Amino acid sequence: MNPQTIISHMNNYHTNELIALCKKYGKKEALINGEVKNATLTGIDLEGLDIIYNDNISLRVEFPQKTDESSLKDAIISLCQSAKPDDSKDIADEIAAFKQGFGSIIIASIDKDGQAIASYAPLMQIHNKLYIYISEVAEHFASISANPQKIEVLFLEDEGKAKSVILRKRLKYRANAHFIERDSEEFNAALNSLESAMGGAGGIKTIRQMRDFHLIELQLGLGRFVKGFGAAFDILPSGEIKQIGTGGGNPHSIPHKMR
C-alpha cells in the first residue's frame, strides 16, 4: 500500500486512533485541558509514524521493531491497538498469567553490610502464595535473613520471546520474607507441590530432608508491571492496578545525552 494512501486513510477514518496515540505517547504539557484536540498523520516509514497534534506539536511514534512493506499495515494496527486504554481486569488477568508461567524468580536483597545481592531461586506458587526453598550456604540466605523486609523480586520475559531486548515484559514487587516452620502443614504442602512439579527429579527428595534448607514465603507488596513503551502499571498492595501517566510515555520524545 502506498504511504500516501495510508496517510489519507488514517486522517479520514482513524482520527480517534491518532488522538489516542498522541495522548499516550505525547507530552503532558502539550495537552489542552488534558486532551488532544486534533491529530494529523504527516508521515510514515518502516520504523514508525510522524504526527502533528494540537495544531503544531510534532510527535514521532516508533514501532516496537522495524517492519517491512508487507507487514506495515499490521504494524500500524497493532500500534493503534496498544494506545487504547487498558481495562484493569484484563491487565490483572495478564499479570496473573505472566507470573504463573515462571518456575523460578529473580531476587534482590541487602546483606548486613548494606551490599546488594542479586540471585534467583526455584519458585513454588500455591494458592496465590509464592515460596522459595533455599539453603543456609547460599549467599542470599544471609541477606534475606538480615533484611527480610528489604527485598525485591522480578519476573522477566525471556529474550527469545520478546519483540526486542528493550521491550522485555517485566513484573516486579517489593516483598517481605516470612520463614515457614519446618514440618508444619504449610511446609509439607509446599514441598509436596515442588516435588510433584519436578517429578521427584533434581534431588528434591534429598534436599527436602536437609535441615539447612528453609522454606520462605515471599509476601508481595507494591508492584509494577511493564508490558511495553507507555504501558506501565503500578500494583497496589490492595490489588488495585493503576496505569502510570499516559502522557510522556514515548521514549523517543525525550532528548538523550550524547558524547
Domain of 19, CATH number, reads 3.20.180.10
* Co-location of 46 and 127 in the same domain: no
Confidence of residue 259 (pLDDT cuts 50, 70, 90): very low
| pLDDT at 249 > cutoff 70 | no
Of 158-162, 222-226, 229-233, 253-257, least confident by mean pLDDT is 253-257
The pLDDT tens digits of the residues spanning 128-175 come to 899 999 999 999 999 999 999 999 999 999 999 887 888 899 999 999
Instruction: Find where cell 482520527 sits.
Output: 15
* Co-location of 37 and 142 in the same domain: no
* Co-location of 77 and 95 in the same domain: no
Task: Work out how many domains the chain is built from and give that number.
Answer: 2
Among 51, 84, 117, residue at a domain's last position: 84
Torsion sign, CA atoms 182, 183, 189, 191: positive
* Co-location of 24 and 123 in the same domain: no
Q: In the structure grid, which three cell numbers stand for residue 64, read together? A: 516496537
The pLDDT tens digits of the residues spanning 102-126 come to 999 999 999 999 999 999 998 999 9
* Co-location of 240 and 150 in the same domain: yes
Q: Which domain, by its residues, includes 206? A: 89-253
* Co-location of 104 and 222 in the same domain: yes
Domain of 227, CATH number, reads 2.30.110.10
* Co-location of 232 and 136 in the same domain: yes
Among 68, 84, 100, residue at a domain's last position: 84
Q: Where are the alpha helices (DSSP H) in the chain?
A: 3-13, 15-25, 72-82, 88-100, 139-146, 185-197, 204-207
Q: How high does pLDDT run on average in the chain?
A: 88
Is 259 part of a structural domain of the chain? no
46 near 67, Cβ under 8 Å? yes
Confidence of residue 200 (pLDDT cuts 50, 70, 90): low
Rg (CA), the chain: 23
pLDDT of residue 84: 78
Is 168 part of a structural domain of the chain? yes
Is 163 part of a structural domain of the chain? yes
* Co-location of 101 and 42 in the same domain: no
* Co-location of 42 and 129 in the same domain: no
Is 258 part of a structural domain of the chain? no
Q: In the structure grid, which three cell numbers stand for residue 158, read together? A: 525471556
* Co-location of 48 and 66 in the same domain: yes
> What is d(CA 64, CA 118) in angstroms, rounded to the nearest whole number?
29
